[in-house]
Structure 1
Amino acid sequence: MTLEEKLTTCKLSGIQKSYERIIEEAQDQAWSYREFFERLIDEEIISRENNRFNRLYKKAKFPNLKTIEEFDFFKASYVDKKQIIGLASCDFIGDRKNLIFIGGSGTGKTHISIALGVEACRKGKTVSFYTAAELGNKLVEMQDSLQLGKFIEKLKKVDLLIIDELGYIEMSHTTTQLMFQIFSERYEKGSIIVNTNLEFKEWPRIFQDERMTTAIIDRLIHNSFILTFNGESYRYRQQKEHLLGLNNKSVQQ
């Protein structure tokens, strides 16, 4: 059996991809056997962590990749950078705390929630991302196909559930009841990030049921962090500066 075959049999793909390079480095730098072996193990660990991240990232179904580093806190002074960096440790997931981001459209809520979800994936946490409309439709679909229990159990086991764009559409009474099940099942058992453009007092407009709305809010805000995004649209400001740059460039030409 060749070395390649042995590495394949032992499922050491990280070492398999890098051992020739590591051998050359070891020879050039006169590494000890211990240093050589440790570097091979490091390569395997990095490979497995990358594979795990890619698998978790794919399962999360984010609409796009966003990171904390990409977010321009200078242009969004209403966001506390230190607080967001602290949340990126993902300790809130271990503590089963919720995050509620409240603010207007384009202020960075979705960017930061995805970025926190990406960090969670890097730390080996399972994440699921839905818009409120997508989740509502999925719940109704699962109920109609008699798979609701299985789907709710799946969401219950996810380390972090992100619900984006809560407040842009009104939900039917049936959808509200199903959404309540999600919040109830995850209460003190798993973290949720909710992005909304509406203050809590306006939530009855979404769920169209005062009693159910109160129950949902009660479960969400207990043991949670609430962050407000009050400022000019971060997305609009970026686009405006981009267009201004293009116009200036055109004038110079």
Structure 2
Amino acid sequence: MLKEELLNCCKVLRLSRGLVDNSEEIVAESHQAYLLELLQREIAHREKSKRDRLIKNAGFYTLKSFDDYRFDEVKLPSGVTQEYLKQTQFMEEQKNLILYGNVGTGKTHLAIAMGIAACRRGLSVGFYRTANLVNQLADAKKAGKLSKLLSTIKKFDLLICDEWGYVPLDREAAQLLFQVISDSYERRNVVLTTNLEFSRWVSIFYDEQMTAAIIDRLVHHSYLLLYDGPSNRMRDSLMRQDG
């Protein structure tokens, strides 16, 4: 009966049910020390729940970490170190990251690992395959819900656009994507992965002026990470065959 009343109090006060379980485990020298540890555990629980929720809501289609990531495949620009990326320090400096190189070289892996690191810092992240983002924007516009989707994107601290340039866009799609990038300029960090050099971006957007404007907004305040090695997936496949 007492436990049920405690659980009900937690519900009313919007505290976790784990508070009741913790109350049975804590041993302290005083009432205040007991209360302090109980509240500290509740705070830790809330912080973990927030981090887990941010990762879940980010839209990662798979989870990646830095544990098995090989930085020897990427050329880092001056001022950028492995630790700089792992700690997502580029976000404090309001820098964008453009990860450019061959397919299968680890660009998406690094983008996701940095996104998850940002979530664990309590920051809001949106991860999109660029083609899927464009489809969502187009569908939202047709349904009269474009403003709502754009408002959601504006709340992100970090926007990750994966596979940029893999699919050509029509004029309306290009304009919608331009709006997202324009809205993000100097407001939130953008990480972009692509295998298409800047000179060929006009083949995606079919408009030289719009292409130049997008490049200008993305490149300003950004670092370019170059991947010029062979595909990791191809290499791993060949290694399995050799074995």
Given the two structures, how large is their TM-score scaled by the length of structure 1?
A: 0.83
CA displacement at 1:79 relative to structure 2: 4.9
Q: Tell me how far apart the structure 2 counterparts of residues 62 and 128 of structure 1 sit (CA, whole Å).
A: 8
Inter-CA distance 141–237: structure 2 relative to 1 (3 Å threshold): same
Matched residue, 1:129: 127
Distance 1:70 1:45 in 2: 31
Tell me how far 1:52 sits from its aligned partner: 0.4
From the two aligned structures, give the one with the greater helix fraction.
1
Deviations 1:49-107 (A, max 9, x none): 2110121112111001111123133xx44355x72321232232233321110011111
Match of 2:205 in 1: 207
Q: Could you tell me how far apart the structure 2 residues matched to 1:95 and 1:154 are?
A: 23
Q: Measure how far apart 1:132 and its partner are.
A: 1.2
Structure 1 counterpart of 2:22, which letter?
S
In 2, Cα distance between the equivalents of 1:115 and 1:193? 12
Structure 1: any 5+ residue segments left out of the alignment?
A: 248-253
Report how many residues are paired: 235
Q: Is the 8 A contact 1:8 1:16 kept in 2?
A: no
For residues 118-197 of structure 1, what are the structure 2 equivalents within 5 Å? Answer: 118-197=116-195
> Which runs of 5 or more structure 2 residues have no equivalent in the other structure?
none
Mean CA deviation greater in 89-98 or 138-147: 89-98
In structure 1, which of residues 9, 12, 15 is the aligned counterpart of residue 15 of structure 2?
12
- Worse-matched range after superposition: 234-243 or 120-129: 234-243
Per-residue deviation at 1:138?
1.2
Partner of 1:237: 235
Q: Is the 8 A contact 2:123 2:157 kept in 1?
A: yes
**Partner Cα distance (2:8, 2:43) in 1:** 20
1:32 aligns with 2:32: no
Alpha-carbon spacing, 1:174–1:7, altered in 2? closer, same or farther (3 Å): closer
Counterpart residue type for residue 74 of structure 2: Y
SS of structure 1 residue aligned to 2:144? coil
- State how far apart, in whole Å, the 2-side matches of 1:197 and 1:18 are: 51
Q: TM-score, normalised by structure 2?
A: 0.87
Deviations 1:16-56 (A, max 9, x none): 34333x33xx4xxxx53366544433422221121101211
Q: Percent identity, please.
A: 38
1:78 aligned partner: 74
Q: Say if 1:240 and 1:35 are closer, same or farther in 2 by CA, change over 3 A.
A: farther
Letter in 2 for 1:12: L
Q: What residue number does 2:112 align with?
A: 114
Cα drift, residue 153 of structure 1 = 2.3
